Amino acid sequence: MSSQKEFEVFFRNNPSMMTLSGLWERKYTDVNEAFLKVLGYERDEVLGRSASVLGLFQNRDLHHTIYETVVKQSCIYDIEVLLNHKNGKLIKAALSAEQFTIQALPHILTVITPLEMPLHNRFGLHTRSLPSYEIKPLIWNPNILGSMGDTEMAQRILQSFLKQIPERIHTLKTAMEKRDLASAQKEAQRIKAASFNVGAEALWQTVCGIEKKLLTNDANEAMEDLSFLENGYSSLMKIFETQISGFY
């Protein structure tokens, strides 16, 4: 299965709300069924419109801060937001977003998970705080692969992921050593996409931090983070494999 088809499966079947919007025009180009179900919209009411036009965010200033952070830093994690349901009901949720390229066009991929715990996000940050890039205690999110409903396919995707990631990291390192930042950014996006598809949250978050530094031309610090990733990769994958061993 191609990475594009893998992404399509996870986007459509993910239990969390997921959206794709143009980076600059900010209009939704796609949303998954969870988004429509939770917020009470029909697809044609959302596509081609922005979150601002729909009035989805209770705190418009926070929404603007999130957008500006993703534009400048490439990604943002676990920010608690209040969303407006179509009928006016408020929904508390944790929002993560990152830049995502589709057919050479820049987009923002957003993942939104409804929460029961109010007023702070999973790291105890106030909603106006920006997140750190520390590795999360949860190395793997079982809800991602669990949402597929196809154990055999999920196993194939996991095996492919574990085989490809060391090669991807090596390719990323080579591009960074050559100071080919454009190629390095593309490879970082590939690693992020693969990590996202299997719920490897710690790897996804670490590479997102590397990409952020590449986007700001901070190649030296990005290389330091990559060295940290290389040195800690074996331990990270052992934890990951231990966590997924009881999944099937």
Continuous segment of H or E residues that includes residue 80: strand 75-84
Residue of 162, 71, 82, 171 lying closest to 120 (CA atoms): 82
Torsion angles phi and psi, residue 97, rounded to 5? -150, 150
- 3 state DSSP class of 45: helix
At residue 169, what is the residue type? I
Measured CA to CA, the distance from residue 248 to residue 245 in angstroms comes to: 7
User: For every one of its 248 residues, what pLDDT tens digit does the chain have, with 9 covering 90 and above?
Assistant: 556 777 787 788 777 899 999 999 999 999 999 999 999 999 999 999 999 999 999 999 999 999 998 898 888 877 889 999 999 899 988 888 888 888 888 999 998 888 753 333 333 323 323 333 333 333 445 555 555 555 666 666 677 777 788 888 889 999 999 988 888 888 887 787 777 766 677 777 788 788 878 877 777 888 888 887 777 666 666 666 665 565 54
Predicted pLDDT at 247: 53
Q: How far apart are the first and last CA of the chain?
A: 20
Q: Which residues are within 8 A (CB) of 78 and not within 5 positions of it... i.e. 6 or more apart?
A: 94, 95, 96, 121, 122, 123, 125, 131
Which domains, ranges and CATH numbers included, belong to the chain?
3-114 (3.30.450.20), 142-245 (1.20.120.160)
CA 244 to chain centre: 20
